[in-house]
Structures are given as C-alpha cells and as structure tokens.
Amino acid sequence: MVAVAGLVVFSVMLEFLVIVSFLGRRIWHNPLLFHDWWFTLPFTLWLLIVLLGVLVIVRTALGSLVMNSAGVRARTLLSSFSADWGEIASIYFIRDIRRNAASGDFLDPNGKGAAFDDVIFMSLSGRRIGSLSGRFFSGKAQRALLEEAKRQGVRVRFIDEITPAELASRIPGSLRLCDRHPGLMVLLMFVILLAHHAITFKIWGI
C-alpha cells in the first residue's frame, strides 16, 4: 500500500500544477490543445503518470497467491512466478529492509510485527525465483505462506533488519536493480516532477 499511496500523492502533485495552469490560462479554449503535440505535452505527461498510478492500484488489487501440496504460485498484473516446493531451497522472510540500518541478524520466527517488508524465494541453484513484497501482498498472505512452507519442509530463514547492500552480499542474486539502489527510483521521481513542472511552466505558464 505504500507504493500505491506514493503514486497517488505523486499524481496529485502533478495534477495540481496542471489544473492551476489549465484553469488559469483557460487552456481548453486554446485551439492548439490536442492538435499541437508540444502544447499538449504537459497534459500528456500528467496523464501518463496517472495511468501508471492506476496500473499499480490494479496490480495490487489483482495480486493473488495460490498454495497447495505441489507448490506455490504468485501472480500480479505485470509479473508472476511459480515453483514446486522441491525446487525451493529456502525462503527468506525479511521484516525490514532498511536504508541505513546496522547489519541484521537471523531472528526467531515468532518475533514481533505482522508484515514482512519482503519474502524472497531462492532456488536450489541459488537463483532468485520471486518474492512477495509487503507493498503488494498482505501480512496475512505472507503468514499463510510461512505456515505452508513449514508443513512442506522448506527451510525458512528470518531477518529482522538489513540494508540492501548487506542483503545482496548475504544472499547473492536475491535483489533486483531497483531493490539494490532504491534511491535511484526516488531520484527518478523527483526528476520527472521537476521536469514536468518546468515544461508546464514554459509551455502554458502559471
């Protein structure tokens, strides 16, 4: 839900400047709107951000996790993975992936807290199979997975706090690029925001 809330706020921030310019300059009366690509660019950029936000919301709403005696299957709008229990070497339940924390230790599975920041599946060959991010899957779904994995005899490990760099070192191949460098995603969002404001101001004015 953090990802959803962030994109909603980001979209509203973009929307505010677009609406102020749109209403203040009476853009809807301008014959260039929807006829000249440069003049329409501010509205197009904002619309793309809104569509991205809607996509994330739909992805969250359609996310599903199916488990049975054969294996596990997770599916979202843009990605999915499945694996038999025998193909899974271990499942890491990570309570908190911190950006500036001290090194995390493996803790007792009955530690406090309801939801995990991430749950990572690793194969017998050391390959990352997939994950159940706390941004898209509830703590209830993660706990159901934990109980089923125990019943199937899959090794589960628990990490309380750890940084992305430490996690990548401890479990090679467990993180994607955006997970290893989360600051780049934040920087990208701010660059898009500033660029959109600059383009809107230059083309439409305030």
pLDDT digits (tens, 9 = 90+) for 38-70: 888 888 887 887 787 777 777 667 767 888 888
Domain that holds residue 150: 67-175
Q: What are the b/e assignments for 41-73, b being 16+ CB within 10 Å?
A: bbbebbeebbeebeebbebbeebebebeeebbe
Whether 90 and 138 share a structural domain: yes
Whether 32 and 93 share a structural domain: no
For all residues of the chain together, what is the average pLDDT?
A: 76
**CATH number of the domain that 128 lies in?**
2.30.29
Residue position matching structure tokens 């750890």? 162
Tens of each residue's pLDDT in the chain, 206 residues: 555 555 566 666 666 766 676 666 677 777 877 888 888 888 888 788 778 777 777 766 776 788 888 889 887 655 678 899 999 999 999 888 775 544 344 444 444 445 788 888 998 888 888 888 777 777 888 888 999 999 999 999 998 888 887 887 787 766 666 666 667 777 887 788 788 778 887 887 76
User: How many angstroms separate the CA atoms of 198 and 42, rounded?
Assistant: 9
Q: Is 9 exposed, middle or buried (0-12, 13-18, 19+ CB in 10 A)?
A: exposed
- pLDDT given for residue 181 in this prediction: 65
Whether 167 and 199 share a structural domain: no
User: How many angstroms separate the CA atoms of 41 and 93, rounded?
Assistant: 44
Whether 37 and 111 share a structural domain: no
Beta-carbon contacts of residue 19 (< 8 Å; ≥ 6 apart): none
Whether 95 and 122 share a structural domain: yes
Sheet order of strands, 80-84 included: 64-67, 71-75, 80-84
Whether 103 and 23 share a structural domain: no
Residue position matching structure tokens 């920087």? 187
pTM value is 0.62
Positive or negative torsion for Cα 106, 110, 113, 115? positive
Query: How many domains does one find in the chain?
Result: 2
